[in-house]
């Protein structure tokens, strides 16, 4: 199928290559950092050691930290300071200062020179910061959303070939992208329909769950529209292709998912928001330090001014900053997985906290998605077991989901089945056959009319079943109505409580279903949902989400079907049922493994606790270094003669990293 260029594969490879790049930078930097860190911790300051540190630090800063300098430079150009501005400034000046101190120690005034003729260096600070930030970046990239697989899976929905009927009536198997508008195609039982078109001969039932999310097959006969990617039932028909390639509905769904995934607004990192204030404050502090020392400090004033201004920039670079978010996210994602909440896009978990509107799919999301036998009524002298036995024995010959519901119940109750004779399937009506020499008919009103069965005694029961949203099958024995079977797709046990909880928490709920208006009304009434839309096609679900977003709402979408995929990709947070289709899961940020809606409330709580943890981490990342800034600026110098030393910088670094890691690990034990 010739589709719009979506390039899913290359995009994913790009993601991977960035991760692999960060990973190799991290490991190399870690190995080089260890000796620098150890010797600095041991306060080894001989010229040989310092030269060694210089040689090991150079690749860590210039190669390992290169991506951060690039981003820092871009942030200066865009005048929007972020985390990398701080990292770039701090590690850059630490490296330059220390390099000058190793190469030309003599240019420093006497007060800076140790007994062995060396000057204190900050190589350790530069290497540790870069290594930790690389670790954070690696964790973040690993957690990042991978687009592409949803698209690939969607493309696989269309069969690769089609059976084309030529002018001379011969049939030929052709590749699906060789099918042209106007071609006649034969569709055999159980086959996927290759392109969109109209039935010109024959009839069948078609599983259109791709479009509607409904498992119940739809009856199609001459003149009926069929859609590429949907699955033919037991009949055979000939269709005339009228939309092929990029024009098919399936291609349009693919396009919608891919566009929605690309157009999502990037979530601004909390770190960057803070950095926007912190960076100017640090620069002002450094400039003030320089002005004060070079104006009123000891001689040589200019050197003292420069060295202390540099010290302010070094200490202000919080090494744990790069870890604050990724650590919490990593632990939070692990905690979610334990509770059956699989988080594919960790950034989306951050937005989940702010979600104020939840759009639900109905079938398979609020409900179980499979019809079940709910109602069973019979009239004396017949027993319910007999009714089930006759019905299930006959329905064994049918592939209809309604039949499956009846057979499953009979199996659960261990009812032994009989072998009927003269079975006839009446497409769109029901099934007839003979059991123990008695003619049995099971089906809808039209089938009963056809067999002249009097339904008057069943009308009252019929209304009861219908009110509950059940699809009714009449059972007749030799033209006498003997019972009613009611089948419906039941609401999941966990749904009512989950819906109530979400309503209590102030989230606006809207149900968006591909099912009929009546079915939507019944479910909405049972669950007290006031806002619902019915008979929506995949693109209409997506438009609904877009409309809510344009009203300034933060929208989460929960769904299970292929028809939900565009809306799931469009929503701020897409939530798929683990019991649903792979495509829905691939298009989503979060998968609820058990398909249990109560997990949404849990995920929201996790999101809330994780955001709080990130904020605490940011506090720890900033606080020790911020306390160091006045020392670096020389506030203690007039009285105690203390200036910033690598030791103070080392203490600030250790305290902040240990606090951040320990705090993030607390998330493992939280109750959600
Ligand atoms: Mg569904």
Q: At 569, phi and psi to the nearest 5?
A: -70, -30
* Residue 668 Cα to ligand 1 middle (Å): 33
* Residue 587 Cα to ligand 1 middle (Å): 14
Residue range 500-528: mean pLDDT, rounded:
91
Catalytic positions, written as ranges: 361
* Residue 219 Cα to ligand 1 middle (Å): 20
3-state secondary structure 118-162: CECCCHHHHHHHHHHHHHHHHHHHHHCCCCCHHHHHHHCCCCCEE
Residues with CB under 5 A from ligand 1 (ion): 213, 361, 363-364, 560-561
Residue that has been written with the tokens 């259109």 in this structure: 208
Q: Which tokens go with 443?
A: 């089906």
| CB distance 253 to 514 below 8 Å | no
Q: Which tokens go with 32?
A: 């080089």
Q: Express each pLDDT in 225-246 by its tens digit.
A: 999 999 998 889 999 999 998 8
**Confidence at residue 15, expressed as pLDDT on a 0 to 100 scale:** 60
Per-residue pLDDT for 10 more than 80?
A: no
Q: At 584, phi and psi to the nearest 5?
A: -60, -40
| Strand order across the 225-226 sheet | 171-175, 161-165, 184-187, 237-243, 196-202, 225-226
* Residue 566 Cα to ligand 1 middle (Å): 13
Q: What is the mean pLDDT of the chain?
A: 86
* Residue 120 Cα to ligand 1 middle (Å): 66
Per-residue pLDDT for 172 more than 70?
A: yes
CA distance 92 to 639: 31
| CB distance 423 to 440 below 8 Å | no
| CB distance 342 to 579 below 8 Å | no
Residues 6+ apart with CB under 8 A from 638: none
Quick one: which H or E segment has residue 377?
strand 372-378
Indicate the pLDDT class of residue 98, thresholds 50, 70 and 90.
very high
- Alpha helices, H only, 505-645: 517-527, 538-550, 565-570, 582-586, 598-633, 637-640
Q: Which residue has the higher pLDDT, 261 or 189?
A: 189
CA distance 213 to 364: 8
User: Is the omega angle on the peptide bond into residue 300 within 30 degrees of 0, that is, cis?
Assistant: yes
**Confidence at residue 71, expressed as pLDDT on a 0 to 100 scale:** 92
Quote the crossing angle between the two packed helices 301-315 and 270-296, to the nearest 10°: 160
| CB distance 644 to 314 below 8 Å | yes
Q: Express each pLDDT in 576-620 by its tens digit.
A: 998 888 888 888 889 998 888 889 988 999 999 998 999 999 899
| CB distance 628 to 600 below 8 Å | no
User: Which DSSP category does 416 fall into?
Assistant: P
Per-residue pLDDT for 6 more than 70?
A: no
Quote the crossing angle between the two packed helices 8-41 and 66-77, to the nearest 10°: 110
Q: Express each pLDDT in 245-276 by its tens digit.
A: 888 888 888 888 887 777 666 666 778 888 88
User: How far, rounded to the nearest angstrom, does the alpha carbon of residue 394 sit from its chain's CA centroid?
Assistant: 44
pTM beyond cutoff 0.85:
no
Query: How many distinct helices (H) and strands (E) make up the chain?
Result: 24, 22
CA distance 57 to 303: 24
């Amino acid at each position: 199928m010739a589709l719009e260029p979506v390039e899913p594969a290359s995009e994913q490879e790009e993601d991977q290559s960035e991760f692999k790049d960060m990973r190799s930078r991290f490991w190399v930097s870690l190995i080089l950092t260890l000796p620098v860190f150890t010797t600095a911790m041991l306060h080894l300051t001989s010229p040989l050691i310092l030269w060694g540190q210089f040689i090991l630090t150079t690749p860590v800063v210039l190669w390992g930290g290169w991506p951060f300098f690039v981003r820092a430079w871009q942030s200066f150009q865009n005048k929007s300071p972020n985390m990398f501005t701080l990292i770039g400034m701090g590690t850059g000046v630490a490296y330059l200062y220390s390099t000058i101190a190793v190469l030309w120690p003599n240019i420093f005034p006497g007060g800076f020179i140790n007994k062995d003729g060396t000057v204190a260096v900050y190589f350790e600070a530069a290497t540790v910061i870069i290594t930790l930030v690389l670790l954070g970046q690696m964790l973040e990239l690993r957690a990042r959303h991978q687009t592409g697989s949803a698209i690939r899976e969607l493309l696989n929905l269309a069969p690769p070939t089609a059976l084309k009927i030529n002018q001379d009536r011969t049939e030929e198997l052709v590749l699906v992208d060789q099918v042209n508008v106007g071609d006649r195609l034969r569709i055999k039982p159980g086959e996927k329909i290759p392109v969109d078109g109209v039935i010109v001969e024959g009839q069948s039932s078609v599983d259109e769950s791709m479009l509607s999310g409904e498992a119940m097959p739809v009856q199609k006969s001459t003149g009926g529209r069929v859609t590429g990617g949907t699955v033919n039932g037991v009949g055979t028909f000939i269709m005339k292709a009228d939309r092929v390639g990029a024009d098919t509905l399936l291609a349009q769904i693919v396009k919608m998912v891919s566009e929605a995934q690309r157009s999502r607004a990037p979530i601004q990192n909390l770190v960057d928001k803070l950095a926007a204030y912190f960076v100017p404050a640090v620069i002002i502090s450094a400039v003030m330090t320089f002005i004060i020392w070079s104006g009123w400090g000891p001689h040589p004033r200019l050197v003292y001014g420069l060295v202390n201004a540099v010290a302010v920039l070094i200490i202000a670079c919080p090494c744990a900053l790069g870890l604050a978010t990724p650590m919490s996210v990593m632990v939070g994602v692990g905690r979610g997985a334990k509770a059956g909440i699989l988080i594919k896009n960790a950034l989306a978990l951050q937005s989940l906290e702010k979600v104020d509107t939840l759009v639900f799919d109905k079938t398979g999301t609020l409900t179980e998605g499979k019809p079940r036998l709910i109602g069973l009524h019979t009239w004396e002298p017949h027993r319910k077991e007999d009714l089930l036995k006759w019905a299930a024995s006959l329905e064994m010959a049918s592939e209809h989901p309604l039949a499956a519901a009846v057979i499953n119940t009979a199996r659960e109750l261990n009812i032994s089945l009989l072998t009927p004779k003269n079975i006839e399937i009446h497409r769109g009506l029901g099934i007839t056959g003979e059991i123990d020499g008695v003619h049995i008919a099971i089906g809808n009103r039209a089938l009963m009319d056809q067999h002249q069965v009097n339904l008057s005694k069943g009308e009252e029961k019929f209304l009861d079943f219908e009110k509950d949203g059940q699809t009714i099958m009449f059972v007749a024995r030799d033209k006498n109505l003997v019972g009613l079977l009611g089948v419906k797709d039941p609401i999941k046990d966990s749904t009512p409580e989950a819906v109530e909880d979400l309503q209590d928490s102030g989230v606006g709920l809207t149900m968006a279903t591909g099912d009929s208006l009546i079915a939507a009304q019944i479910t909405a009434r049972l669950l007290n949902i006031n806002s619902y839309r019915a008979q929506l096609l995949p693109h209409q679900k997506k438009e609904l989400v877009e409309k809510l977003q344009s009203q300034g709402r933060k929208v989460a979408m929960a769904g299970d079907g292929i028809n939900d995929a565009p809306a799931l990709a469009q929503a701020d947070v897409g939530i798929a049922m683990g019991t649903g289709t792979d495509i829905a899961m691939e298009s989503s940020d979060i998968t609820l493994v058990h398909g249990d809606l109560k997990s949404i409330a849990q995920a929201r709580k996790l999101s809330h606790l994780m955001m709080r943890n990130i904020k605490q981490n940011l506090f720890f990342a900033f606080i020790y270094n911020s306390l160091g800034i006045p020392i670096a600026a020389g506030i203690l110098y007039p009285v105690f003669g203390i200036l910033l030393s690598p030791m103070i910088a080392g203490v600030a670094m250790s305290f902040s990293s240990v606090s951040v890691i320990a705090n993030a690990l607390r998330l493992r034990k939280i109750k959600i």
